Chain A
């Protein structure tokens, strides 16, 4: 899983730096009479990429927030309770992916684009769906690993 986390950091990090650069240049440009047209749309795309990579990274490292006040005291039931984590993550991501794919298929022929730069929403949806798919695979892999004695 290390290579996947590294990949997520490089891609997500590049998106973060891109968002930083675009918004900073947009502010500077605005004050010098050289506004960057569509900067918000570009930042939106960068935020999507970094967000999806963040979800992949946090899921791969099992970094998602949880409360351990009860599970730490479960004794022999602790290992069974530990399966709930990845199982619920896989189910939730599956539901998100199903909903997102449903919308993508409904709107496929709509050729949605952003207003100023014409950024294709098909592409943005594709990135989101691939990311959600990756999260499902990661959560299922974690579930299988935990089931093994």
Chain B
């Protein structure tokens, strides 16, 4: 074990960055560096056997079923136009107010986020519905695109969240607790976005003109289109929070419920089912590869002792809890500007979690914190995936305009992230109460 030193871990990290930036698939890069490192530090035999154990253990993990089944639920709802219905309902109730469609877009993102755990999917689907409507009614293109790009990130935080499921699996933290812990940060994030829209519209009323008010009959009709989905989401998330069902069971109930709702809406066809399963398998296959790679990489990083060395270095700086967490937040934001969100989480968690735990914070809190930081990477350049997704929907709006529109929301994200550091109870209070 002569190579089991922090220096080896550091070299491994540099090689990993090189490979990822060189275009190697993230899961393969994590796994190959982990395997190579383990072969060097332990032995090639030990590395291969570890890889074999992790592969089968991961693919047969009962909890891992949570991810594809929630994805299936989201894709089935997507196929029956759930995103349009969510936005429509919110627009009927508040669309007539100045900036009302922007509020509706945030509410639609939060609603669709609760049946779909992905930022990109939420931004793309709500964007395709909300953007044409907002622009038709004379909203500024910067405000319209910025609202949806930022609102899309709610998909990652509001349970069920794909990122939290993956985090739960790699850190062996209860997925149910993570979902419960994400509720207040998710809702408060949505509230922050609503406040941003309110402030922007007060400052520049011409950016979002008021429009005609929908009648109550129209409003009830829109509400009738979504009540079944809301009931299912409340059952699924409520079931997890109350401890009636495990996250995997809740995911199965969600998937089954979405199929029943699709059938009642006469949307359950062979083609729809095929396309929902296709999209589910594509995303889950991609995520499973990253999880397997990340677990192998985490073993390598653990063996080298680089986490202990990093922890000791941070302690020697005597920054205190808040100082340390602020530094970690800045590091995550910098890395998040060049790395994909999931890669950022899987790459940094094995190193940062022990440091965070040394400051007295729990793995549960860190799961919410890193997901929040990850979300911000979706809306800040140069990577800012949501910005490009929204540009795909509104092709005539430049990236610069979209970024200008997202800036006030990004500023609120910084405040929200800092608040999460200052008031950890935002994430930890609800799981404690529910226990």
Contact = CB atoms under 8 A, between A and B. Distances in A.
Interface string B389-406: 000000000000000000
Main secondary structure of the interface of B (DSSP, over half): helix
Nearest to B293: A92
A4 interface: no
Contacts of B52: 96, 98-104
Contacts of B252: 19-24, 27, 43
Contact of B25 (A20, A85, A102, A128): A85
A61 interface: yes
B338 interface: yes
A69 interface: yes
A43 B51 CA distance: 23
B56 A88 contact: no
Given A66-B26, A89-B25, A23 B65 contact: yes
Interface string B29-54: 10110010000000000011111110
Main secondary structure of the interface of A (DSSP, over half): helix
B60 interface: yes
B68 A54 contact: yes
B289 A64 contact: yes
Given A22-B252, A27-B245, A91 B65 contact: no
Contacts of B259: 20
Interface string A34-56: 00000010011111101111111
Interface residues of A, number: 64
B284 A51 contact: yes
A117 B297 CA distance: 34
A47 B65 CA distance: 6
A140 interface: no
A67 interface: yes
Interface string B42-77: 000001111111011011111011001100100000
A45 to B, nearest CB: 8
A99 B281 contact: no
B256 A51 contact: no
Contacts of B342: 65
A143 interface: no
Interface residues of B, number: 65
A55 B58 CA distance: 13
A109 B69 CA distance: 34
B55 A128 contact: yes
A81 B23 CA distance: 7
Closest 4 CB pairs of A and B: A99-B52, A54-B285, A13-B277, A58-B285
24 contacts: A5-B278, A16-B255, A16-B277, A24-B249, A43-B62, A50-B284, A51-B288, A52-B59, A54-B285, A58-B282, A64-B285, A64-B286, A64-B289, A67-B21, A67-B338, A67-B383, A69-B382, A81-B22, A84-B23, A91-B28, A92-B28, A95-B35, A99-B50, A104-B52
Given A16-B68, A54-B282, A100-B52, 6 more contacts: A16-B280, A27-B245, A50-B281, A71-B23, A85-B25, A128-B56
